[in-house]
Amino acid sequence: MTLTPRHVNLDTLPRQLFINGEWVDGLAGARLSVRDPYDDHEILTIAEAREADVDRAVAAARAAFPAWAAMNPSDRGRLLYKLVEKMEACFDELAELEAIDTGHPIRDTRFLDVPRSLLNFRYFAGLADKLDGRQVPVEPGFLNVVKRQPVGVVGQIVPWNFPLMFCSWKLGPALAAGNTVVMKPSEITPLSTLRLAQMMHEVGFPPGVVNIVPGYGHSAGQRLAEHPDVNKIAFTGSTATGRKIVEASSGNLKRVSLELGGKGPNIVFADAVLPAAVGGSAFAIFHNQGQACIAGSRLLLEESIADAFLEKFIALAESIRLGHPLDPDTEMGPLTSRLHQQRVLNYLDICRKEGNRILTGGSSPDDAALAQGCFIRPTVVEAQPGDTVFTQEVFGPFVSVTRFKDEAEAIALANTGDYGLGSGLWTTNLARAHRVADAMQAGMVWVNCYKRVHPGSPFGGVGQSGYGRDLGTECMNEYTEAKSLWINYDAQLPPFYKR
Ligand code: NAD
């Protein structure tokens, strides 16, 4: 059943690059095909940015930087608030646009993608005039103050799994702090980012403050990462690409923050409230078709409750309604691209080769109506340390299950592998909750919940999940430089050179 959006006007959607406040074609004249993952048809084509276009965008951001940085911070906040109002007025349109471009079910984009993006922009709008520095109590006669200054031109490179939300995570704090931005959205899902740029222009962001250059990673992304006139790269994406970005950034030693992959361990202890743990663990992995860096993709179950848990968990997984993203009853949409569906299916081939027992799912759905789409059934697979799918990120509706005997083994299993992003545990024992949370090698731990995110709480990882933080007041450190200012107002300097 194909549904058409009611609030999106494809004819008026921006289809060009947004550079220096203008809509322009790429200099090479190349186009990107934007596809609907429900049936893989082409929605439209847009201009593709290449290296020379990134150069133009960086030049525009550089030219816009002094005035933007010097603007009254309260006025920067006001522009962000105006953007929030504009987005609120276009709520239905944004929810539908994100659904057709990414495959997210409309119930998710209405409940999560759009409201969360609003929440984030609102938070950073409010933070714009609260970024105070500090005064250090140094020796008498001197004043030392630490000022926070914007870093300059920021390049932002983001993936396809939450395009609109990542705009709010990245643009919000960067702009509030007085930086100008060149953002490269994923080549797969650029539509909501371009629409957002149009709104920013309409509410009065000055030309060059935000520039949007959709293009491929190896060309536009690489150029942004290596660009000598970019002061910082904020990257979200895979660990492999993160490594390339660090290498590319070394020319001018620009600052880099990396939000990379994850393989979230989700521990269920025998004393957990079982229905809550079952429902929460299903949300942890199956929401957004499992395409979340913080997905609870590694379920660790205490032996004594494992069978009872799995019976309920598998029944829930099998009841999840797959369908058209615009159908309000759909609980799971297609994966965001054909290529990515293939990647996930390859992991299922690996499971079969390595002898992992597939407890449910394991393929695309048989349903003829979904056959053209990039769907994968919710999949639950038994795995042991050493199996490929125990440590590698599948990034789909795919969860591995491993049983453990005691708390020490649960912690050891949870900390196996190189990632350390999101993690969770379910228990009614408060002391255990703290003990295990402290022992988890992860940037975020959720107890009796999963994937809670708030603009005020820092988000990021350890190990191969990257470094630096999005969100929270912590992320403002990523977008500002600390400048230490010393003033002698009454001090007698010691006579260093007595003559
Ligand atoms: P990806 O690394 O392939 O691409 C991410 C972005 O980087 C895209 O815009 C892409 O065009 C660009 N890119 C690719 N090669 C590049 C290069 N050489 N130089 C510069 N830019 C380049 O990742 P993906 O497949 O789009 O997204 C999935 C990955 O993102 C998963 O690993 C997931 O865990 C991760 N992710 C992490 C977070 C987080 O906050 N930690 C959030 C969401 C997704």
- For 290-348, write each residue's pLDDT tens digit: 999 999 999 999 999 999 999 999 999 999 999 999 999 999 999 999 999 999 999 99
Q: In the predicted model, is pLDDT for residue 1 greater than 80?
A: no
Q: What does each C-alpha distance from 280 to 32, 33, 70, 99, 215 come to in angstroms? A: 38, 36, 46, 23, 36
pLDDT at 115: 98
Ligand 1: residue of 156, 218, 241 to mutate (most ligand atoms within 8 A of CB) is 241
Residue 496 clears pLDDT 90, i.e. is over it: no
Give the rounded distance of the alpha carbon of 488 from its chain centre.
45
Furthest-apart CA atoms within the chain: distance in Å: 94
Whole-angstrom distance, CA of residue 262 vs CA of residue 298: 10
CA distance 180 to 154: 6
Instruction: Write down the pLDDT at residue 499.
Output: 78
Q: Counting beta carbons within 10 angstroms of the beta carbon of residue 496, is it exposed (0 to 12), middle (13 to 18) or buried (19 or more)?
A: exposed
Please tell me the CATH code under which domain 10-259+469-484 is placed: 3.40.605.10
Q: What is the pLDDT of residues 259-300, one digit of tens each?
A: 999 999 999 999 999 999 999 999 999 999 999 999 999 999
Q: Please state, rounded to an integer, the average pLDDT across all residues of the chain.
A: 97
Pick the residue whose CA is nearest to atom 9 on ligand 1. Answer: 186
Q: Given pLDDT bands bounded at 50, 70 and 90, which one contains residue 194?
A: very high
pLDDT band at 2 (very low <50, low <70, confident <90, very high): confident
Active centre residues (catalytic): 259, 293
* pLDDT band, very low/low/confident/very high, at 54 (cuts 50, 70, 90): very high
Give the global pTM. Answer: 0.97
* CB of residue 221 inside a 6 A radius of ligand 1: yes
pLDDT band (50, 70, 90) for residue 498:
confident
pLDDT digits 0-9 by tens, 352-365: 999 999 999 999 99
Query: Which atom of ligand 1 sits closest to the CA of residue 237?
Result: 30
Ligand 1 centroid, distance to 307 Cα (angstroms): 36
Over range 415-422, report the average pLDDT.
97
Pocket test for ligand 1, best of 254, 293, 453 (most atoms within 8 A of CB): 293
> Does residue 262 line the site of ligand 1, with CB under 6 A?
yes
Residues in the chain: 499
User: Ligand 1 pocket, 395 CB below 6 A?
Assistant: yes
Mean pLDDT, to the nearest integer, of 208-229? 98
Q: What would the two tokens of residue 71 be?
A: 């603007």
Confidence (pLDDT) at 495: 80
pLDDT at 497: 86
Pocket of ligand 1, candidates 104, 156, 157: which has the most ligand atoms within 8 Å of its Cβ, to mutate?
Answer: 157
Average of per-residue pLDDT across 167-189: 98
Please enumerate, as own/partner, the contacts of 466-469 that have beta carbons within 8 Å and a separation of 24 or more.
466/239, 466/242, 466/257, 466/258, 466/259, 466/260, 466/421, 467/257, 467/258, 468/234, 468/256, 468/257, 468/258, 468/259, 469/257, 469/443
Ligand 1 geometric centre to CA of 347 (Å): 19
* Nearest of 212, 173, 223, 218 to residue 189 by alpha carbon: 212
Residue nearest to atom 13 of ligand 1 (CA): 217
Check: CATH 3.40.309.10 for 265-447?
yes
User: In this predicted model, what pLDDT tens digit does every residue of 55-81 receive, in sequence order?
Assistant: 999 999 999 999 999 999 999 999 999
pLDDT beyond 80 at 26: yes
Residue 492: pLDDT band (50, 70, 90) is confident
Q: Please give the distance, rounded to the nearest whole angstrom, from the Cα atom of residue 4 to the centre of ligand 1.
A: 29
7 pLDDT higher than 90: yes
Q: What is the pLDDT of residue 182?
A: 98
Report residue 494's pLDDT band, with 50, 70 and 90 as the boundaries: confident
List phi, psi (to 5°) of 12: -100, 0
Mean pLDDT across 414-441: 98
Residue 82 pLDDT class (50, 70, 90 cuts): very high
Is 238 touching ligand 1 by the criterion CB < 6 Å?
yes
476 touches 177 (CB < 8 A): yes
Ligand 1 and 443: CB distance under 6 A: no
Displacement of CA 191 from its chain's centroid (Å): 16
Residue 432, pLDDT > 90, answer yes
Domain ranges across the chain: 10-259+469-484, 265-447
Tell me the CA–centroid distance for residue 401 and ligand 1, in Å: 26
Band (pLDDT 50/70/90 cuts) for residue 415 is: very high
Query: Ligand 1 mean position to 238 CA, how many Å?
Result: 4
For residue range 433-473, what is the model confidence (pLDDT) as tens digits? Answer: 999 999 999 999 999 999 999 999 999 999 999 999 999 99
Condensed to tens digits (0 to 9), the pLDDT of residues 369-385 reads: 899 999 999 999 999 99
